Amino acid sequence: MATTHMPTRDDFTRYLLAEYENIAQAHFRTIAAISSFFRYYLLITSLPVTLIGVFVGLSSREQPLGILADLGSLPYVMSFVISMVGFLVLLYIINLRMDVLLYARTVNAIRKYFYDRWRIDIEAKLRTRVLPQSPFLPGYTEPLYFLPVVLSFASFDTFYFAWALTPFSVQSLVNAPAMHILLNKIPLYVLLGPIFFFFHIVAYMKYSRYREHVYLKSYALGVDVDGVLNKHRGIFCRLLRESTGKLLNPDHITTIPLHEDPSLGVSREEEKQVFNNPRYWTEMPRADDAPDTIKRLRNIFKLKIHLFTYRPWPSDEKRGGATYKEWIGAASKVLSRNPLLPWGPLRRFRCVSFVYNALNQTRLKHQIRPFALEPIDVVTKCWLHESGIEYDKLTIERGSEDVSDPRGEFKNRFYICRKRKLRFFVEDDAEKARKLAYICDVVFLLDQPYNKSQRGPRNIIRVSSWEEIYRWIRRLS
């Protein structure tokens, strides 16, 4: 029987050495690319001046510069294009420089790994080590090193930008007779030139701040609702007994969905019958430790909380059907308990649901959609509010909840985690946790009977409570 080779510390050491060499080479190649682009940029900026010199040299007139008048607006258009191209080239070079710094930080982290395992005293270590070993150095803002490059680009670009604006004055663009005296004969480049110059510096500072605080560091926590923020197994077994008479122990639910486990004796239709019952969602008990822990995570660690839930209910029901009317009544009931809930779509729901109920009383048989939101959206929002769960964003997933391939472009948790770069995620479904482990830095898998035997990548951390999640985030922050 073939055996699987488990990576050892020596394997990891060899990997880091190879990574060190590759990143170091990429670091120097990127620096060479920056130098090449800067040379190309200087060549482009010198081209108009060279052409003017050629035209003047070939001119036989007494006033050689008069040949520029024959070119019309072409020199100004060319100057404007060069200034815009120069600004875009600068943005590209800034990104290359940020990549260089990222590579340097990675090399520093690898250097720290080996220095920490070198058995010498701290004094000898500090005397022999010259290069830094902090993954937070060098800084992305370099006022003494890269800022002069930015100022060089800003100077050349502003020169050509101002040249392109020389035919215009402020008065030619502002039709204000009362300001005629103030704006008379003021060149437009006097106002816009300095703005364009400082825009280069602002762009550099914005890119630096983005790389330092946002890039690959979205400090957000994604949270699945069902099975993580609520206790769904108990309410499911109770409603299953009421609708079918079947007795089911919540601890015996070891497979989700239930109908895939023949030993439970629950059919797909019986399972859907419970989920189509609005009481399953309105009477759902909350996880006792979730609200307080999430509040601490938001207040202490400033984590953004993004909730996800897939609730395509009621299913297989026409708009005018009995089940849908029951859902509308349930949504109206829970909404009446939350009159001050601050959500614009719910306010629209209050108005239109009143009209819908009036139509029902007159027994008008019209298939209408009473509000922009589905009833399950209203029920979910109200349940979170009543449960005291604070959050920044709620996504009620549509379409397929299981597709993680980015080509599918489904607006589900996988798509949003990639787009928003969510760092942490709390999940109870082992299959989804494995997919999220390739997107998020850390996935917390909350212990449930239906995920006990599942394994996954090493960045999936099993937890038994929200308090344990809090301790892990405190450790990793």
- Report residue 260's pLDDT band, with 50, 70 and 90 as the boundaries: confident
| 173/188 Cα distance (integer angstroms) | 9
Of 446, 441, 474, nearest in space to 457 by CA? 441
How does pLDDT run across 343-384, given as a tens digit for each residue?
A: 545 544 444 444 444 434 433 333 334 445 788 998 999 999
CA dist., res. 428 & res. 107, Å (int) = 36
Cβ within 8 Å of residue 291, ≥6 positions away: 387, 388, 389, 390
pLDDT of residue 421: 86
pLDDT (tens digit per residue) in 383-394: 999 999 999 999
Buried b (16+ CB within 10 A) or exposed e, 39-69: eebeebbeeeeeebeeeeeeeeeeeeeeeee
Q: Is 401 exposed, middle or buried (0-12, 13-18, 19+ CB in 10 A)?
A: middle
Higher per-residue pLDDT: 213 or 470: 470
pLDDT score recorded for residue 364: 31
Q: Mean pLDDT score of the chain, rounded to an integer?
A: 81
Q: Note the residue count of the chain.
A: 477
pTM (global) more than 0.85:
no
Burial of 468 (0-12, 13-18, 19+ CB in 10 A): middle
Averaged pLDDT, 107-126: 79
Q: How confident is the model at residue 177 (pLDDT cuts 50, 70, 90)?
A: low
Judge contact between 453 and 339, C-beta under 8 A.
no
Backbone angles phi and psi of 147, in degrees to 5 = -60, -35
Q: pLDDT tens across 179-229, in order? A: 455 555 667 777 788 999 999 999 999 999 998 887 877 789 999 999 999
| pLDDT at res. 403 | 64
| Burial classification of residue 307, based on how many CB atoms lie within 10 Å of its CB (0-12 exposed, 13-18 middle, 19 or more buried) | buried
Virtual torsion, Cα 440, 428, 291, 415, nearest 10 deg: 40
CA angle in degrees (0–180, nearest 5) for 41-42-44: 65
Residues 448 and 221: their CA atoms lie apart, in Å, by 20
Q: How many CB atoms lie within 10 A of CB 327?
A: 23
User: At residue 408, what are phi and psi to the nearest 5 degrees?
Assistant: -70, -30
